[in-house]
Amino acid sequence: MNISVELHQKDLLVVNGIIKGEIDAFTAPILREKLSEIDLKENLQVNIDLTDVSYMDSTGLGVFVGFYKSINASNGHMELIGLSSRLKRLFDITGLGEIMDIQASSGEVKIDETV
């Protein structure tokens, strides 16, 4: 189980991140540690690309919830982008899809499940 976390400070108020691999009980502490290295300035914008995340469990959700709360406390904004339909569904069924700024990958086809 591997994870790669790259964070790049674009300017004083923008951080771009790319996560690759699996986010589970073994790799979530690595992700949490990397995210904790971000200096949470007032009005910080953090964009995290999850295009290459193949799996995430509830431990990964917990990391993102904690980071989201920290960002919000400093009037910042976090956007998760490039989520596969599987990851997007994980956020949606927990209700986090309604709270967080989450963008499915551009290649995903949205299906209207209403009948």
- 5 pLDDT higher than 90: yes
Domains, the chain, ranges and CATH?
3-101 (3.30.750.24)
Section 20-44 average pLDDT: 95
pLDDT value at residue 105: 78
pLDDT value at residue 16: 95
pTM value is 0.86
- Tell me the pLDDT tens digit for each residue of 74-106: 999 999 999 999 999 999 999 999 999 999 876
Going 96 to 55 to 52 to 68, the CA torsion angle's sign is positive
